[in-house]
Chain A
């Protein structure tokens, strides 16, 4: 204190000011300034309480998504105090991958709708990779707010902690999840991961056991099980588990109603195409047809839609219809490799071998290393009686994809037809080395008299 006083006195001495006479004026000015400042601050806070919703470039966006964002933005302009409106705008922006803008909206939603877990939850999910510490804060808040209503925030919080290597902090959340929902297989997988990282293999195995039969977690549990077996000195078991896992489709994401809502906002063509592809893989043809029809209703010449329409028909052996779809696409995209290859298949399906060969040759001119097209070209040429051409095509297929059992056998057959028996036998031997039990190999061996 003493030192402070003396330095103040020193300062006054230096400036030659007399503070005692001017102090009432200064106090008045000070009070006035503080008042102005407070008023300005309150005005600013009010002003800041009504921020303008973010503007994003919508020009090239899919019409459905664009309209959704525009409508949500108008809702915010009309009701700037509505947390729900801000949140909805955030969700539409997140769906369109305008992440910084979505973050801003969630933050405004959380201010205006502070008891809703949804906004800190979605903020937390957005921050998971960019700023994990912030994600943990948001998700912790969401977990508190969600108490008992949904376990999504706690699960995401636990996952974020596991990903950060904070196993001790993650474990209680996983145990709470399992206490309230023993069937939460995804929590079991994460608990298994925690135990594996700690080297507690027995506990990891126990944690994973119920997750092995759940369709959402089966694959990831098997993969963790394979790692545990390998570390336990059971390489054969490990290999077996890894093989089983590799035959399964990719793991589904654990159901999350909030994220599902956000994802469901996307009804654009790319999303429809994804849906249609998935349905085609599952051979759900009527459902796939409905989705593709929706794409073509919106844009009759949509390349992806036409490819999918052709594929849908081809898979149902409606080959002329498939051919029509591909030809329609090729009219305005004559160099579509995919359309050419698919058209080749549609023509082969109608036994138009020469036309198919010409089409596949066009495809191969665009992409000479397209092994599948070489193989199909070989078949088309073979059927049209062009043995030499078929041999060339099958050789090219093998150049591009070694170990193609069908190509070896097809080549062997053509070589045999051309009288080149020794080389034919070599290719049958190759095929046999790849899979001696394959019925096609057995048949080829019989036909060629190869032991």
Chain B
């Protein structure tokens, strides 16, 4: 034994030499830093398994979304999951109601929302100004509207409402583009898919086709005409008259908000493998496409990328919204910083977002202030679209083995202030420790504790509920913006500036961002050390401005149009 002890270091040295004088390549061990999220899926009652085919049918790969909304106005967020099993399938969309104790109960049966189809996204918004959030579901071959009748019942009114979209609709958003007080609807259609077209990778194996194999399609815009229909949901197709059809695209991501600072909402489409489009509202019912000159069409190197998920928030605290767009594993994501107002520049290189523990194909993405320090952090829900020879492990339990070949780990980046990010993924086993074919990602305060939680959906696998348990969170303020004149519905499109601790924090109320998702319609502001709010300025969707007094932080404020100064 003593001899062995003596020789130990020498033997180790030899072994080190034999191993090539460098440590064996492994993932760096997870740091002991506290986690920001806890996986509470099992205890939450939100059990949802996404079903998808395994025959390289492209709509399967796009995934399906989720909507966070309070359908019964009880003050707690409910959840609506979309399935992708096809018409007539027993895989039906699922509605979950949040009970008083914070758990979720499946209330799909007889809700009217438990439909089947080639489901893509879901968005919530009150189309007939009755104070109840209605639901739009996008599908491969349809855009469907479900009217909220109250009492947990919904009725499909697609045809009666005049919504006719036979195309593959992936992403949709509500927007009051004519500022008449009624929510209009945009469906940014995806591509002109040929289901008989078979694709192979360079190595000869069948795989999903790339979007470049197919033609782009026209974006659809419907003007809300419910006022003229006696309160029954009704839309008129303005795709042609508004001019949005003129520049077709391949949209997966969508942000409807004011991009040029004129107080009128514009339409940004993140186009998969094509230049992004930005339809600027001409304030007369028409739009012109201006993405290229405003710096949003291409990535930092002037190239087109696989643009998918979108997030819109002020990452550097300059009072203007910045756009984040996710891309493929072999591309860099884009962080288009705004400045001056109305023009953008992809500054991802200087943001720290290129320094990553691993690369991912990002779909759903949110910019939300998880640690409430006043700077929005970033999450990217990752999952491949083309098989890798070596995929990431471990794969989360419940993922269909066929789809496991496309699984990747998601990522979390902390905003260190001024829009400089640091990859925190290695320290986040609950969010980033297991690979999934993640697609849709929704953010919201599920448990009303003032911290932003996450709902992560995956192709061919279970959804995951992630409760925010970030340590040392700062003070916060939640703001719900309501329009009493419009039935008390959420003021989609409104912008808010919170003044606290000598700083301004900007946000826009647009739940339909990320990817095929609808987020919590309540705005959340991290205030850091500021325990008091000085004031809140609101720019309402109709262009009106009001200021509300603040007060103590760490609470929900419900601000109604007309109540401010």
Residues of chain A having any CB pair with chain B under 8 Å: 26, 29-30, 33-34, 36-37, 40-41, 44-45, 48, 57, 59-62, 65, 96-98, 100, 129-130, 132, 159, 162-166, 189, 193, 196-197, 220, 223-224, 226-227, 229-231, 235, 238-239, 241-242, 245-246, 250-251, 266, 268, 270, 333, 335-338, 366-371, 399-403, 430, 433-434
Contact = CB atoms under 8 A, between A and B. Distances in A.
Contact of A164 (B167, B193, B201, B349): B349
Nearest to A238: B293
B192 interface: yes
B298 A223 contact: yes
A100 B389 CA distance: 10
B197 A338 contact: yes
Given A30-B10, A433-B241, 14 more contacts: A33-B10, A36-B14, A41-B17, A59-B204, A98-B389, A165-B348, A165-B351, A227-B345, A230-B295, A337-B194, A367-B194, A401-B245, A403-B245, A403-B246
Contacts of A403: 218, 239-240, 245-246
Contact of B202 (A96, A402, A434): A96
B167 A337 contact: no
Nearest to B3: A29
B203 A97 contact: yes
Interface in B198-225: 200-205, 217-218, 220
Contacts of B288: 239
Contacts of A433: 240-241
A57 B203 contact: yes
A189 B205 contact: no
Contacts of B359: 129-130
A366 B196 contact: yes
B201 A242 contact: no
A368 B203 contact: no
A434 B292 contact: no
B480 to A, nearest CB: 36
Interface in B140-178: 141, 164, 166-168
B74 interface: no
Contact of B302 (A37, A59, A189, A370): A189
Contacts of B246: 403
A368 B217 contact: no
Interface in B216-257: 217-218, 220, 237, 239-241, 245-246
Majority secondary structure of chain A interface residues (helix, strand, loop or mixed)? helix
B332 interface: yes
A227 to B, nearest CB: 5
B343 A227 contact: yes
A189 B166 CA distance: 42
Interface string B376-410: 00000000000001100000000000000000000
Contact of A336 (B196, B217, B298): B196
**Chain B contact residues (Cβ within 8 angstroms of A): what range?**
35 or more
Contacts of B347: 165, 197
A93 to B, nearest CB: 11
B426 interface: no
Contacts of A246: 292
A61 B240 contact: no
Given A163-B301, A196-B345, A403-B240, A40 B17 contact: yes
12 contacts: A29-B7, A44-B18, A132-B354, A165-B350, A197-B347, A223-B292, A227-B345, A250-B304, A266-B202, A336-B196, A337-B195, A402-B237
Contacts of A129: 330-332, 359
Given A29-B6, A96-B203, A369-B166, A197 B194 contact: no
Contact of A60 (B203, B217, B351): B203
B343 A337 contact: no
A26 B3 CA distance: 9
A235 B193 CA distance: 36
Interface in B173-194: 192-194
Nearest to A234: B293
Contacts of A96: 202-203
B28 interface: no
Contact of A223 (B14, B220, B297): B297
Nearest to A166: B349
A130 B458 CA distance: 24
B14 A400 contact: no
Contacts of B332: 129, 163
Contacts of A44: 17-18
A40 B18 contact: yes
Most chain A CB within a 10 A radius of its CB, from B17, B246, B288, B343: B17
A235 B354 contact: no
A434 B304 CA distance: 28
Q: Pick the most buried of B293, B332, B342: most chain A CB atoms within 10 A of its CB.
A: B293
B293 A239 contact: yes
